[in-house]
Structures are given as C-alpha cells and as structure tokens.
Amino acid sequence: MANAANQHTCDGPQPSPPTHFLIVAYGIQSHINPAQNLAHRLARIDASSVMCTLSIHASAHRRMFSSLITSPDEETTDGIISYVPFSDGFDDISKLSILSGDERERSRRTSFESLSTIVSRLAARGRPVTCIVCTMAMPPVLDVARKNGIPLVVFWNQPATVLAAYYHYYHGYRELFASHASDPSYEVVLPGMQPLCIRSLPSFLVDVTNDKLSSFVVEGLQELFEFMDREKPKVLVNTLNVLEAATLTAVQPYFQEVFTIGHLVAGSAKERIHMFQRDKKNYMEWLDTHSERSVVYISFGSILTYSKRQVDEILHGMQECEWPFLWVVRKDGREEDLSYLVDNIDDHHNGMVIEWCDQLDVLSHPSVGCFVTQCGWNSTLEALELGVPMVAVPNWSDQPTIAYLVEKEWMVGTRVYRNDEGVIVGTELAKSVKIVMGDNEVATKIRERVNSFKHKIHEEAIRGETGQRSLQIFAKTIIESD
C-alpha cells in the first residue's frame, strides 16, 4: 500500500511551470528602460508564478553587459529577470539606422530566426515562453508569435494620444492627414479627442519629404494595427489616467483590452539602464552650488545629433537668458568637432556641458528650475512626476504630440518651434526659457500646474488606480489562460 501511495504521489499532478513573459524591445534607451521596468514589475508580482526574460538587439545587449558578455548568445540575469540578446543581422550597428529594402528583409528574417531560436532554447531549459510582449512595431515578433502559437501583447510605450492618432490614421484618416500635411495649422478632430493641428501630430504621419525612416515606421505600424484588428491582443499603455483619461476612454472600444500601467521609467538608480557612459564631472556637486529653481537643464535624449550651427544657436540663447545651465551633449551625438563648446562654456559662462547623466537625479535636484527637452515620453513623464516645468522643443516621431500635451492640454510648459531648416533659433529659445524661469504670472501658473500634476501622479500611484494594480489584473488574465 505504501508503494502504491508513493507511486500515486509521483504520478500525480505536478505544479504548473511559471508563466513566462518574453519581452522584446528595440535596442534604444527610450524603449529598453520602460521594457526592463515592465519586466521587473511583472516578475515581482509573484516570483513563484511569473518569470520574465528581456530580449533586445545584440548591439545594445553588449553595451549593457560589456563586462559580462563573451558571446552574442550569452544569457545573463540581474537576479530578478533574465536578459538574452537577439540578432537582427546588423549587430555592429549601435544607432537607429535606416535600412534599404533588401537590408530590411534580411533584418526581419534574421530577427525571426534568432527570436525563434531563443523561444526553443528557453523551452529546452524548462522555461517555455507562454506570452510574448513587444514594444510597438516589431514585425518579426509578430511572426514568431504566430509560428509558435504564443499569445502576443503590445506594449505601447508612447502616450495614449499618439496611439489614438495612429489608430485613426489607419482607420479612415490617412487621406485627410496627407491632404493637409503641408498646412501645419490645420486642425484635425479625431473621435473623442480635442482638435490636433497637423504640426502636433506624430511626424511620421504628416511627413512631406518622402523620408525613408517615416515610410519604414508607417509600414511597420500598419502591420501592427492590422495584426491588432485581426488578433485582438491585449494592449499595455505606458500612461496614467490623470494625464489622458478622456483619450484612454476613447480608445478602449478599438481594442480587446487596454491596460493603463502607469509610469515605467523611475525605477531605482541601481536598476536604471544607461546606454552611455555617465560624465565624470561632478555635476551634482555643481548643482549644489546654485540656488533653488535657478538652473536650466538641457537634454535632447539619446538619438538627436547636434550640428555646429545648432550648438551656437542654443549657446546664444542661453547667453541671452543669463541663467546657469547644465547641458547634455553626447560625444556620439555631435555631427562635427564641438570640443570648443566645453572650453567656451567652462571658461566664459555660468554653465556646464556633460556627456551624459542620471537624468532622474538631475531633475530631482532643487536647483533645477526648468527642463529644455525634445519631449521624449520618458523624459516628459519624469519631469511631470518630479514637478519640473518644461520648454518643449520637439523634433520627430511622437514628440510634436507630446509637446502639444505639455503646452496646451496640461499647460506645464511652453513650446519652441524650429525654423524652416529644423534649427532651434537662440532668440526663440531664450524667449521661452524667460517665460518659464521668470517672475511672471505665466511662470507662476505653469509651476502651479506642474506641481499639481506631481501630486496627482503620486496620489494615483499610492491609491494604485493604475500602474501596479492594473498590471496585476493583466498578469492574472495571462496566468489564468495558461
């Protein structure tokens, strides 16, 4: 009888393997950090029932783990999630690049093969993937999910307003956008939303230059939206109800389920990813020497490059303002030799130029009075969360729409328009900085508004109305479907 009992125990139901999320992201900082934070938050829901693996392009993976990685296929872990790279056939290219038609086909094929191998390898190691999450438009990931019969979830790491703009572009508004693309002030009214002028729409949707990158993005996103129309996947949106409640309500009917999962950037300093070497200058100590709200922080993110003319214009504008400034200018973000810039500022102006920094630390410092930003979504959320007014200087992609939200909907900053050559004119920059930093009624209202959003964001996080609670509900639906 004892033997029979033991046999029954051995042959009885075994515990189900944990739900395994494979999160695939573009190898650029603005995608990697939110994806990593999402993976960490999912993994922490219940370590016994959830595991996460983050997969990014091999070139970015090597930069993140340069001291650990000895081969492109090597997997590593931070103790919470695992990291495994995939190859797109262009592993030595570390920047966002425009590929030719043949190169794009090669990249898609190679990415599909590499990610399929990862799925097979993880299954062989006893960690089968039960759900794939991809950041926005990654057609090879759609292919992998279809081939392997694995449910796919879309992680939209831009505002819900941008999600709505793209949805309507592919569902009846393409011709309207195109016919008015040369009229930046023309207003488009999308269902359930405030009017948006052409200059405030995502740049890829109203490009009149036949830019190859715009075509690439529009084609990739069209495939994504066709997939969503057909397969009805769950959609995770990196935003908050307090910021986009009306738009979130408007987009809900277009998708099977939309989960508002909150800000996915401000993890601990130890967990944040930096694709660039932080400057060795004592910029935090330099900030300590300045009075409250007296410093202008300038950073245009991890992709934009500077020409000498653009640098001279910004420098001229900051000279006119006379406020001290901390300016991020990456070495690989300089189109020309700008070594004179550092010496010029350090020797003659009350400013500091650095190559890279921990932006959350800077924005948290009491001496920072405003943020001159390109309006990347992560940077904008950080500024809102920390109560820092903005001077919005959008360039491309979702940035014009975010700048509209900053200036018009939330009224937490001003916007600078580039000239016809795409250059930020120093006098225009100075004008906006003076408005935000000055002792005037507009500046006071902006500071009140941004502080109000700061408190609302914190309250929403404490109550758990979005963010982690929504993520838990999402994870439960995936776990129960396994």
Whether residue 61 lies in the annotated active site = no
How far is the C-alpha of 320 from the C-alpha of 372, rounded, in Å? 15
In sign, the C-alpha dihedral spanning 266, 271, 276, 278 is: positive
Q: Which 8-state DSSP code applies to residue 336?
A: S
* Contact status, residue 443 vs residue 435, Cβ threshold 8 Å: yes
CA dihedral of residues 361, 426, 204, 156 (deg, nearest 10): 10
CA 342 and chain centroid, separation: 29
Give the 3-state secondary structure of residue 143.
helix
* Contact status, residue 221 vs residue 137, Cβ threshold 8 Å: yes
How far is the C-alpha of 65 from the C-alpha of 274, rounded, in Å? 11
Strands 295-299, 351-354: pairing kind: unpaired
How far is the C-alpha of 210 from the C-alpha of 222, rounded, in Å? 17
Task: Name which of 212, 252, 214, 208 is nearest 234 in CA terms.
Answer: 252
How far is the C-alpha of 179 from the C-alpha of 298, rounded, in Å? 36
Q: How many residues does the chain have?
A: 482
How far is the C-alpha of 412 from the C-alpha of 407, rounded, in Å? 6
String of b and e for 19-33 (b: at least 16 CB within 10 Å)? bbbbbbbbbbbbbbb
- Which residue in the block uniquely carries the two structure tokens 């922080």? 297
End-to-end CA distance of the chain: 35
How far is the C-alpha of 72 from the C-alpha of 27, rounded, in Å? 14
β-partners of residue 234 are 257
Helix axes 29-43, 468-481, angle to 10 degrees: 70
Q: Which of 8, 20, 31, 290 is catalytic?
A: 31
Q: Say which residues have a Cβ less than 8 Å from residue 237's Cβ, sequence separation at least 6.
A: 156, 160, 163, 248, 258, 259, 260, 261
- Which residue in the block uniquely carries the two structure tokens 């410093």? 295
Catalytic residue positions, numbered = 31
